[in-house]
Amino acid sequence: MSEGADVIGDVIVCPLHGSSFKVTTGELLDWCVSPPVIGPLTGLIVEKKNLLVFEVRQGGFLGSGDVEVLVDTNAKKAYEAWYWKGLLDAQGKDDGTYY
């Protein structure tokens, strides 16, 4: 989501390309409405995806008003697992043996 997005009710709208999403679920409502001709065509090239939604709470030390976000610290590892498995398998090291 681009910086400076507008929140209208429970919908967030990206100022860069006009895509809109539900704030609570991340569901895609309207895809890339601008620029008028090129924007909608990008939907043919780029996969349309919902936004990730994270659990948040207001907390902090002594009521500082900080926002705390619950994130999966293993997300990067899980995302890259397919790459490393393929790389190691190509070298014959995935299961600890060589060809």
Q: pLDDT digit string (tens) for 21-78?
A: 998 899 999 888 777 777 777 777 778 888 888 888 887 676 677 888 888 888 777 7
84, pLDDT greater than 70: no
- Supply the pLDDT for residue 10: 92
Q: Counting beta carbons within 10 angstroms of the beta carbon of residue 11, is it exposed (0 to 12), middle (13 to 18) or buried (19 or more)?
A: middle
- Supply the pLDDT for residue 98: 55
Structural domain that includes position 51 = 6-90
Report yes or no on 99 lying in a domain: no
Report yes or no on 22 lying in a domain: yes
For the segment 7-16, the average pLDDT, to the nearest whole number, is 88
Report yes or no on 98 lying in a domain: no
- Domains in the chain, number: 1
Report yes or no on 46 lying in a domain: yes
pTM for the model stands at: 0.57
- Supply the pLDDT for residue 97: 59
Report yes or no on 66 lying in a domain: yes
Report yes or no on 58 lying in a domain: yes
Report yes or no on 85 lying in a domain: yes
